[in-house]
Structure 1
Amino acid sequence: MVTSAAPSVAPRASLARRLFATVDIASLVCFRVLFGLLMFIEVWRDLPEIADVYIEPEFHFTFHGLAWVRPLPGDGMYVVFGVLGLAALCVTIGLCYRAAAPVFFLGISYVFLLEQGVYLNHIYLIALISFLMIFVPAHRAGSVDAWLRPRLHDPTAPAWALWLVRAQIGIPYFYAGLAKLNPDWLRGEPMRMWLRERDDLPLVGPLLREWWAPYFFSYGGLVFDLLVVPALLWRRTRAWAFALALCFHLINTAVFSIGIFPWVMMAATTIFFEPDWPRRLRNRAAALVGAPPWPAPLPAAPPARLRRSQRALLTGLGVYVAWQLLFPLRHWLYPGDVAWTEEGHKFAWRMKLRDKDGYVRFYATDPERGETWKIETRGRLTGWQREEMSGRPEMILQFAHYLADDLRRRGHPAIEIRAVALVALNGRAPQMLIDPTVDLARVEPSLRPSPWILHDLAD
């Protein structure tokens, strides 16, 4: 029995030990610089929107269980963004990195959780990468910290750090492709609708009107998302995959307004090259001008045995990666089409899959007085908040509770709140999203399936 078990155990142990071998740190340093610089640009671009998103709205849509996360009063949010910008610069140059990385993670997570109405997958990804950068020792070279403290300098990094970043970048690609395997996407929607709105673009506008354009973008995006990571990991196809990734994200930048996300992904894709690629590139440039080469480090071999701390680290990494792999699949636990119900949509890399157009009207009923009236949302919500809420049942429920609490304070203790939400999904005819007979003031927010959401989605 011992003899038969030995071969199956050895490969697992060998893989675990290889994660603690060292690799050239150059690619992690390059990733740190690019990521930090892009984060500074993102913070700078967001400055004009601080008042509109975080200060002026009377009401903020929070995430489930996080209603206590609120914007700072006065000019506090400007201070938060100022700290975020400073932390991003410190990450870029590697100054006080061990403090700057967690500060940026906490700051960007705080901003991300303040308003559900501006949820974006790329901000969620940035928060996750920021979390990983706390543990990745990307400051051991090419940093002010290493220059000020020579004993900190190390031209190598553990292999687990490199593969952890690769996994975090690869997971959104794969799940984005998996999510595209749905009937709407395969029939060219909502891509067809979006391309029609952009057919006035110079040069490419006429092409976007062609019958084949929605299918080219839809099926091209599906294949790209599913295959780009395996192609980047295989050395023979890596250069072609990287060139295709650049084209893909540059086209997204030109055709769609999706902010800094394409640039983050282009920078992140470099992490799939060999760990020493920046060193080799720099040495080639140095050779052209006769400068001395940047000597390559000598990577350390895997340890003979894992220490207890190393095994604990592997356990933590395994739990984190397993969560990232399983959590995006939770929408299968809910009935109905996730694009319609929104249950399990967020944090699942379901990017650019649905287009919703509709409206929601709220009605209050005071059974003690026998009165029913329409509630005006203007002045309580901004235009972009109303637009985002109209197709999202969780946000409708949250605002209904806010209205009920407000009316109870105004002398209506038995108030009932109902909503009429008429929504069109991906070009379909408008239909009812939630049951208009349900008193939403009595519905408790829950992670369980919501029976008050109407699931019969017409074709």
Structure 2
Amino acid sequence: MIRRLQQQIDNSPLIVFRIIFGFILLWQASKHIAFGWVEHQFVRPKFTFSFIWIEWLQPLPGNGMYWYYAAMCVFAVMVAIGFRYRMALAGFGILWTGVYLMQKTTYNNHHYLLILMCVIMLFLPANTYASVDSRTNPSIRTYTMPAWCRYVVLLQIAIVYFFAAIAKFYPGWMDGTFAGILLEPSAGRHTGVLFHAKWFQVLFAWAGIAFDLFIVPLLLYRKTRTIALIAAIIFHTFNWLTLNIGVFPLFALSTLVFFYPPNTIRKLFFRQRPLIEPEEVPLSLKDKRILLYFFLPYFLLQLALPVRHYFIEGDVMFTEEGHRLSWRMMLKRKKGTTDFLVTDLTNNKKFVYDKRSSLTKAQSESLNGKPDMIWQMAQHIKKEYAEKGIKVAIYVEAWTSINNGVKQLLIDPDTDLATAEWDPFFHNKWILTGDN
């Protein structure tokens, strides 16, 4: 394996991916402006549910978030054309990470994936050809790259698919229950009968498992690569058209360039370039340090995060503890209700807090079934009354169901969430485990 990492190979896949990736970033940022996402998620809310402990990270006032997204669009174009590539990639990555961390109302694993790819691409020489940088600074122009650049991208893709497959091995997915829920909004005049058929829902569910488990090895194996390519195009196009799945289908298809021999990609996109035969070259000290001190711990973390929920009490499907950053994508429909019961400790007066006074409809609906957001809301209520000089206790009556199943209590109704602590690493005892 070390010998493979040391090879110098044609850099065509990386160059092509950089260009496509830049336009994907542009599409993602501009779509959020054009389709009203910025308005609904950042402008209208009085506050956003940021990640716990960084609640200070809130949207810019007024039209600030539109300028924020405009800056991301500029950085995305710079990435695509390879103009001050690393500065642009870092700029987009920082701003996009801010977007990701400052709101959880529409949490999306794919948004997290874009952050990771921005980080990975910072270490890859993706601006050494077909870029403004290589034209203005010919000394960086080259047709080759270290083979490890290809393998780190492939490994990241493999991790996403593998853990997405593992997460699907639960009854509600395997028996087609959630597949039916997922397909229901797309069941139109021509597809209604098919999408409502139980056999199709089960087939869809198991096809998803099989695809996630086997697509990477099938793409890597030369004899099955073409069949896998066709399957990937069909699978991601179907998801794009029917499931409103966001950026992932585009991103996944763009990574296909790394599964083909570099010279194949060269023939498709850069015919004028000379043929590059792999050549073994000892890793430079810089490359060794990048692999040892960044990518080794990075991938160990990527392997650890998706399995952490196995070490936390309760079912992650119900408690949500260990759900984020773990490729548990589109697995369930969670519905519920949440009422905040406030007690004024100065006069023992009790009342139900009116969420509509603080939250948008989307925030209120997203909060249901998510203990971390419920806890954050309790802290917000506590702060709101503390500013009035009133000390309160806050109890929550939260019911939730998975895939239209029986509703169960999610939060211990006898726990005062105003004084409860949040533990990010272990089970929070005030979160019920779903077997009550």
Alignment deviations for residues 20-61 of structure 1 (CA, whole Å, 9 cap, x no partner): 321100011111111111111111110132122112211211
Aligned 1:239-318 pairs, distance under 5 A: 239-282=226-269, 293-303=272-282, 306=283, 308-315=285-292, 316-318=294-296
The answer for the alignment partner of 2:191 in structure 1 is 204
Which residue identity lines up with residue 172 of structure 1 in the other structure?
A: V
**Which letter does structure 2 place at the counterpart of 1:453?**
I
2:118 counterpart residue number? 130
Q: Is the 8 A contact 2:315 2:434 kept in 1?
A: no
Distance 2:189 2:157 in 1: 32
Secondary structure, aligned partner of 2:276: coil
Tell me what 2:407 maps to: 430
Distance in 1, Cα, partners of 2:287 & 2:80: 28
Q: What is the deviation of 1:96?
A: 1.2
Say whether the 8 Å CA contact 2:319–2:434 is kept in structure 1.
Answer: no
Q: Aligned ranges for residues 60-459 of structure 1 at < 5 Å?
A: 60-199=48-187, 201-282=188-269, 293-303=272-282, 306=283, 308-315=285-292, 316-413=294-391, 415-447=392-424, 448-457=426-435
Letter in 1 for 2:210: V
Deviations 1:416-447 (A, max 9, x none): 00111111111212121111111100101221
Q: Distance in 2 between matches of 1:197 and 1:118?
A: 18
Q: CA deviation at 1:298?
A: 4.6
**Tell me, what secondary structure is at the counterpart of 1:440?**
coil
Preserved CA contact (<8 Å) 1:207 1:213 = yes
Q: How big is each residue's C-alpha offset from its partner over 1:355-378, in whole Å with a ceiling of 9 and x where there is no partner?
A: 111111111012330210011000
**C-alpha separation in 2, matches of 1:307 and 1:34:** 29
Instruction: Give CA deviations for 1:123-157 in whole Å, capped at 9, x if unaligned.
Output: 00011001111111011011111122222110001
The residue type paired with residue 366 of structure 1 is D
Give, in whole Å, the separation in 2 of the partners of 1:393 and 1:98: 38
User: Over the residues paired in the alignment, what is the CA RMSD in angstroms?
Assistant: 1.6
* Aligned equivalents of 1:297, 1:269: Cα separation in 2: 20
Deviations 1:141-174 (A, max 9, x none): 1111112222211000111111111111221111
How many Å separate the matches in 1 of 2:4 and 2:186? 49
User: In 2, Cα distance between the equivalents of 1:241 and 1:154?
Assistant: 31
> What is the distance in 2 between the residues matched to 1:370 and 1:112?
39
Residue 39 (1) aligns with residue 25 (2): yes
For 1:97 and 1:282, the matched residues in 2 are separated by 20
Is the Cα–Cα contact under 8 Å of residues 366 and 372 in structure 1 kept in the other structure? Answer: yes
- TM-superposed CA distance for 1:65, in Å, is 2.5
The Cα shift of 1:456 comes to: 3.3
1:307–1:276 distance in 2 versus 1, CA, 3 Å:
closer
Number of residues of Structure 1 aligned to a counterpart in Structure 2:
432
TM normalised by structure 1 equals: 0.91
Identity %: 34
Q: Is the 8 A contact 1:422 1:432 kept in 2?
A: yes
Moved more, 380-389 or 143-152: 143-152
CA contact (8 A) 2:82 2:133 kept: yes
Between the aligned partners of 1:121 and 1:79, the Cα distance in structure 2 is 25
The structural deviation recorded for 1:198 is 2.8
Paired amino acid for 2:31:
R
Distance 1:152 1:225, change over 3 A: same
Give the unaligned 5+ runs of structure 2: none
The aligned residue for residue 44 of structure 2 is 56
Residue 395 of structure 2 contacts residue 415 of structure 2 at CA under 8 Å; is this kept in 1?
A: yes
Distance 1:352 1:457, change over 3 A: farther
The CA deviation string for residues 89-137 of structure 1, in whole angstroms up to 9 with x for no partner, is 0111111112111111111111111101121011000110011111110
Give, in angstroms, the shift of residue 246 of structure 1: 0.8
Provide the rounded CA distance (Å) in 1 between the counterparts of 2:343 and 2:418: 11
CA distance in 1, matches of 2:379, 2:86: 42
For residues 279 and 43 of structure 2, what CA distance do their matches in structure 1 show?
52
Separation (CA, whole Å) in 2 of partners of 1:66 and 1:370: 32
User: For residue 424 of structure 1, what is the amino acid of its counterpart?
Assistant: S
Determine which of 18, 22, 34 is the counterpart of 2:8: 22
In structure 2, give the amino acid aligned to 1:79: W
Counterpart residue type for residue 276 of structure 1: N
Taking the aligned partners of 2:288 and 2:79, their CA distance within structure 1 comes to 28
Q: Which amino acid aligns with 1:357?
A: K
- Deviations along 1:61-101, one digit per CA (max 9) or x if unpaired, are 11123223222222221121111101110111111112111
TM-score w.r.t. structure 2 length? 0.95
In the aligned structure 1, how far is the partner of 2:307 from the partner of 2:382? 34
- Out of 84-93 and 264-273, give the one that drifted further: 264-273
